[in-house]
Chain A
């Protein structure tokens, strides 16, 4: 058992005690908020959207922590909620705006264009534009592996996909990004 795991267990146990519930929850939020936020932000792009999803994620965590079992790691559980919430949020947006699955990349690209300091000539923004062209699953895998530097085993637990499939997804994603950057 790792040090982080035992620390998370203590926080979860503190949450289950009425006296320390709020303080334990605040500690959990503070510990994971940045990593969760950036994972969400890279998927939904816009800060307001990311903030909405963040709140939904931690409200779900508040409601579900009483039943949380120590078998899985806390941050894996939070990441899974974050990914699911981000994807549902994007789906809702697509439905509201009447956007087809094929045009979802375009929709995210438009969001990028409206970001402060956006410059399509800069490599960092070009990379972001390339990521938005990827299919949903490959986009998540690439973000988790490239930016979060997450191991396949961990990713497998979050996305409930085999390590082999994840490796293949990452491979395809990198190739597509390379193709986009070389052609734009």
Chain B
């Protein structure tokens, strides 16, 4: 500190009126202020340090769940923002009503009811399966048996049907068969061994035709309109 004299003489050199002003402190202050200041100050420092280090109640126990919730919220809101920005603006309030104290009085214990016991192995079921197996067996046997008969039945049917066929249809059919036969002959030569034809000579045919009654031949001519019946003899 400079001495008061030095400062006074410096001030006097600059301004005599200012140097002559009284240096009395005009401001007032209670006597206790400085006595209590250090105590008040330390209390404030301690409080601020406690505040700075204090954590809210249950902070650490609830921290992981709160953190996860926040992460989930951020993820879903970002996703929703991408999909529909309009929906993000709508508040997520639950509009549904739940009776008062529902969750606090909710009893999770189920009512004591007689449970229905169902056996895994049921005799009724076994009988049902056995009956089904028997029926299936019978159906298979009957199908196998009928399969052979079906062929003969078809032949019979064909026979019956042949009676209904017209003569022209039969001749047409035989011509077609002949054509097929001719075609086959061109491929493989027919020998006495590999054909089923009966060797009938002219004499035999004439004898057979003579045995046919005249009435039948006339009927045949009427039906066919053929006049060359003599040539048949």
Q: A interface vs B, CB < 8 Å?
A: 22, 25-26, 29-30, 33-34, 37-38, 41-42, 47, 51, 54-55, 58-59, 62, 115-118, 122-125, 127-128, 145-152, 154, 170-171, 174-175, 177-178, 181-182
Within 8 A of A (CB), among B1-44: 1-4, 7, 10-11, 14-15, 17-18, 21-29, 33-34, 37-38, 40-42, 44
Give the 3 A-B residue pairs with the shortest CB-CB distance, closest first.
Answer: A178-B15, A174-B14, A29-B38
CB B27 to nearest CB in A, in angstroms, measures: 6
CB B113 to nearest CB in A, in angstroms, measures: 69
Q: Is there an interface contact between B27 and A115, defined as CB atoms closer than 8 Å?
A: yes
Q: Is B45 an interface residue (CB 8 A)?
A: yes
Q: Cβ of A55: which chain B residues have Cβ within 8 Å of it?
A: 40-41, 44
Q: Cβ of A38: which chain B residues have Cβ within 8 Å of it?
A: 25, 27
CB A79 to nearest CB in B, in angstroms, measures: 12
Majority-rule SS of A interface residues: helix
Given contacts A29-B38, A177-B15, A178-B18, are A59 and B44 in contact (CB under 8 A)? yes
Q: Is there an interface contact between B2 and A151, defined as CB atoms closer than 8 Å?
A: yes
- Measured CB to CB, the nearest residue on chain A to B38 is A29
Q: Cβ of B136: which chain A residues have Cβ within 8 Å of it?
A: none
Interface size on B, residues (CB 8 A): 30
Q: Cβ of A33: which chain B residues have Cβ within 8 Å of it?
A: 34, 37-38
Q: How far is the CA of A146 from the CA of B40 in the complex (A)?
A: 31
Q: Cβ of B27: which chain A residues have Cβ within 8 Å of it?
A: 38, 41-42, 47, 115
Name A171's contact: one of B14, B23, B29, B48 (CB within 8 Å). Answer: B14
Q: Cβ of A128: which chain B residues have Cβ within 8 Å of it?
A: 26
Q: Is there an interface contact between B2 and A123, defined as CB atoms closer than 8 Å?
A: no
* A-B contacts besides A37-B34, A59-B41, 9 pairs, CB < 8 Å: A37-B37, A38-B27, A55-B40, A59-B45, A125-B26, A145-B7, A149-B1, A149-B3, A151-B1
Q: How far is the CA of A174 from the CA of B15 in the complex (A)?
A: 7
Q: Is there an interface contact between B4 and A149, defined as CB atoms closer than 8 Å?
A: yes
Q: How far is the CA of A124 from the CA of B21 in the complex (A)?
A: 7
Q: How far is the CA of A171 from the CA of B15 in the complex (A)?
A: 9
Q: Cβ of A171: which chain B residues have Cβ within 8 Å of it?
A: 14
- Measured CB to CB, the nearest residue on chain A to B35 is A30
Q: Cβ of A127: which chain B residues have Cβ within 8 Å of it?
A: 18, 21
- Measured CB to CB, the nearest residue on chain A to B3 is A149
Name A123's contact: one of B22, B40, B45 (CB within 8 Å). Answer: B22
- Measured CB to CB, the nearest residue on chain B to A130 is B18
- Measured CB to CB, the nearest residue on chain B to A34 is B34
Q: Is there an interface contact between B41 and A124, defined as CB atoms closer than 8 Å?
A: no
Q: Cβ of A123: which chain B residues have Cβ within 8 Å of it?
A: 21-22
Q: Is there an interface contact between B15 and A25, defined as CB atoms closer than 8 Å?
A: no
Q: Is there an interface contact between A124 and B45, defined as CB atoms closer than 8 Å?
A: no
Q: Is there an interface contact between B21 and A181, defined as CB atoms closer than 8 Å?
A: yes
- Measured CB to CB, the nearest residue on chain A to B15 is A178
CB A117 to nearest CB in B, in angstroms, measures: 6
Given contacts A146-B7, A149-B1, A174-B11, are A58 and B24 in contact (CB under 8 A)? no
